[in-house]
Amino acid sequence: MTNLSKAMFLSASALALLALAHARDSGAHARSAGADGASMPRLEAADGDFVGTVRERLPAGGYTYMDVRTNTDDSRWVVTLGEGEDAGQRVRVHNLGVRHDFHSARLERDFSLLVFGIVRSAN
């Protein structure tokens, strides 16, 4: 398997895991069946990777929501598997897809736009 194939496989796997994890948490109406028949939220196409600084971090079970201030001074909420990065850390977000009007039952919070992604330190 080439490096590109491995990267694509890992990205697709991460996206599937994020979507399945959020299927439990989301009260969203737009859903589709996953490969195992589980319900998972539909994601819109990613609009590109970005770099920014974590302003706020909200742990939620096996995943973490982070408010990331980008280099263009936009603020984007990102959700990732695992612990994510701490507030104040500079990060690179590999954007796997987005959801509009996402409701997190676990956090009892609505997000007008939520990026599903892989978050790594940019330092």
pLDDT tens per residue across all 123 residues of the chain: 555 444 444 555 555 545 544 544 544 433 433 334 444 567 888 788 999 999 999 999 999 999 999 988 899 999 999 999 999 999 999 999 999 999 999 999 999 999 999 999 998
User: What's the CATH number where 103 sits?
Assistant: 2.40.50.100
Q: Are 40 and 97 in contact (CB under 8 A)?
A: no
Work out the burial of residue 112: count CB atoms within 10 Å of its CB; fewer than 13 is exposed, 13-18 middle, 19 or more buried: exposed
Number of residues that make up the chain: 123
pLDDT score recorded for residue 33: 36
Confidence (pLDDT) at 98? 95
pLDDT for 43 equals: 81
The verdict on pTM exceeding 0.85 is no
Per-residue pLDDT at 14: 54
Q: Residue 30: what pLDDT?
A: 39
At 28 the pLDDT is 41
Return all residues near 105 (Cβ < 8 A) that are at least 6 apart.
25, 26, 27
Could you list the residue range(s) of the whole structural domain that residue 21 is in? 3-121
Q: How many domains does the chain have?
A: 1
